Structure formats: C-alpha cells, structure tokens
Amino acid sequence: MPNLVPLKGSNKPLITADGSISLYSMDYHEGYRAKSVGAYTESLHKFYNSSGIDDLVRKQDVQLLDICLGGGSNLAVTIDKLLDIETPYNIHIVTVERQASLFDTIRDTPYLWPIRGYQTLRKLFVAGQYKNIRLDIAIGDAREILENIEWKFDVVYFDPFGKRKNPEMWTLDVFKSVYNLCNPSGKVATYSSGKAIRKDFVEAGFSYTSTYKTAGGFQEGTVFCKDVTS
C-alpha cells in the first residue's frame, strides 16, 4: 500500500494529505485518520476546535474522555494547543484503548506531528502528569470500561474505527453509556455524520450540530451535546 513506512508491528505510519503522519492498522485495514484530509487537520477541526475545549479550560477544570486512542493525533493536537493557554485550571484526560501495542508504536515513532504534542503525550504515558495535564489509561474492551468509569466528563472524543470495521462501538447501548458519563452540557465530538448514528445518539439523549467538511474531506463531523436539563 502506498505511503506506508515499513516497520514491524500491526500499526504502520501513514503519510496524510497535510503532511502529517497518522497510523494504519493492519488488523482493521483502515487508517486512524482520513488520509485525504490529513491527520493534523482532521484532529484539529473535528475534535479540538469543534469540542470547545479551549474555551472551557479557561473557565474551569476539564475532564476529557478519549474513546479509542488511535494514532494519538487527537490527544497530541489537543495537548499541543492547550500548552499555549495560560490557565489556572487542570485538564484530566482518560483514554480508552483496546490495543496496548498502540502505546509502544507512538513511543517508538519520533516523527509524529505535532512534535511537542506527541513529546508531551509520551511523557504522560510514563509519568501520568505533565504541568496541569493528567492522563489515565484504560486498556481493554471499551464497552466494559465505559460501564465502570467513575468520573464524569465535560468533553468526549468518540473515535472508533468506522461502523463497518468496528460495529460493536456504534450501538445505542454504547451511546447511552457515553451519555451517562457526560456532565450536564457535556459535548461528544466525532468524525462521523451517519444518519443512523445521529439518530441513535439522539435516542440516547443528545442533540447535535454538524461540523462542516474540511477541504478534501468526504463527510462532515458531528458534535453531540447532553441536554443541560438532563
């Protein structure tokens, strides 16, 4: 397959349209970010910007749930941006991932970009804390983990593989679990815009808005919001 850098393991670095590098899963036969858009661009637009986490952290401590670490670009971009925000508040990130090997791949791939974001993410993998950012990692079946997390979250990055590759994560039961984990007015950002997926999220208790398509993108994203009266 073109643009795959040959390395050992099941996750291969993949060059994307904006020049940033994502990973391609040989297990799922799918990239963690859209090659046509760019790993950095998609993470920045569909997750960091659309979630409003930058405004939130200026006003309060923030709890971020990252469902499916993927190539790490969502967290790396988020961390890179948050490091430039002067705030007295703390950011607590919980990332849920089935593949423990992904953490090794990210540790061993020094040219992932943004450089500072990934460097900080690697430090968090080891120490769990960097400045005002804390990271907790849960490895295993996300469906079970979501049922047992005790924290509540202001922002959720919902980023499994697509429904055809990872159908067990795109169910009403999972969306209800996510709803229960959200604080009032909590937001869930995802790259997906499928009608059936949006319908099930609404049935779980969310309203939603669309994020417009990025240049080269084939679909818009979605931000789901928990009703403040729930």
The CATH fold of domain 38-226: Rossmann fold (3.40.50)
pLDDT at res. 20: 64
Give the residue, 117 or 212, on which the prediction is more confident: 117
What is the DSSP-derived secondary structure letter of residue 28? Answer: T
Q: Give exposure, 123-145, as e/b (b: 16+ Cβ within 10 Å).
A: bbbeeeebebbbbebbeeebeeb
Give yes or no for residue 65 having a pLDDT over 50. Answer: yes
pLDDT at res. 23: 65
Give yes or no for residue 64 having a pLDDT over 50. Answer: yes
Residues forming beta bridges with residue 210, ordered by sequence position:
222
CB count within 10 Å of CB 107 equals 14
Whole-prediction pTM = 0.89
Give yes or no for residue 190 having a pLDDT over 60. Answer: yes
Give yes or no for residue 53 having a pLDDT over 80. Answer: yes
Query: Across the chain, what does the average pLDDT equal?
Result: 87
Confidence of residue 229 (pLDDT cuts 50, 70, 90): low
Give the residue, 115 or 16, on which the prediction is more confident: 115
Instruction: Give the rounded percent of residues in the chain with a pLDDT score beyond 90.
Output: 66
Confidence of residue 216 (pLDDT cuts 50, 70, 90): low
Domain spans, the chain = 38-226
* Closest by Cα among 189, 178, 198 to 223: 189
Instruction: Give the rounded percent of residues in the chain with a pLDDT score beyond 70.
Output: 80
pLDDT at res. 6: 38
